[in-house]
Structure 1
């Protein structure tokens, strides 16, 4: 694991660096997908020693832990304990998901016709009217990202039709264009 250490208002000694490397490396015992780590140590008002640990995993998960103590080593240790607790929690959730997926696979399948009952009443909890602007798909993707939405409806400026752009789980975009039914 690559560990980047940043010190603010304090001199980073080899002893501190070694303690950080040892303490942060122990988190890997609980969570083996850690790609890199950032550790920020600082002194605030000559009394408080602050340690912040940020761990980046291969699963796009980030673990953040920070602690403020009167002693720098205590702050680093406390932040590492918090990071370990978060790593254990993430690992246990992943195990629980795997177990639940297996249990779903082993269930007997009911006949499809019995499961799919016709719905008579459709109830909407929210109905929104959206003003669509003419734009190209690239502008629509930018607007969707800027506003923090997972999808965006827009009027395609070339075809003059309503289109829908959405963010896929793999980080790419999808575009839904209407066509006439034959």
Structure 2
């Protein structure tokens, strides 16, 4: 079942589509983070202003250098020792769709540790967008049943895993990390 769902989601991502999927945090809407048209679809589904940046998921920290110009050494320690899912905002993003990158050139990246997401990204060989599965301005859904039907109907594929999961998940911690290694918490 897991392998089938990964294969189905992979085909949608490769074709520039949008998936609704479980993550290590809350349910997300995702697409190829290097495809500007796919990212536009996500923004339209969420009714989200383009200037609000999106989080990107990677499967391993060794891929960070492909998408961030300068990675402070401390980033690797933060990722390794974080007890909860951690999104780090890095300055000077590269090789991503322009509409994923914030107007100041930064991007939020999370190295995901999840039974579905990790192998999906590994097989896709590109980062994927992960934004909460809610309409902009609405509360983030804690469970699949909380997701607005408008979102479910708008995506190209709904991953058939963890839909009955009632484990309380919450959004990731977000930390902004400057090239010099200074950091500040944006969301704890």
Structure-1-length-normalised TM-score: 0.21
**Which is richer in strand?**
1
Structure-2-length-normalised TM-score: 0.21
**Which is richer in helix?**
1
Structure possessing the higher radius of gyration over alpha carbons:
1
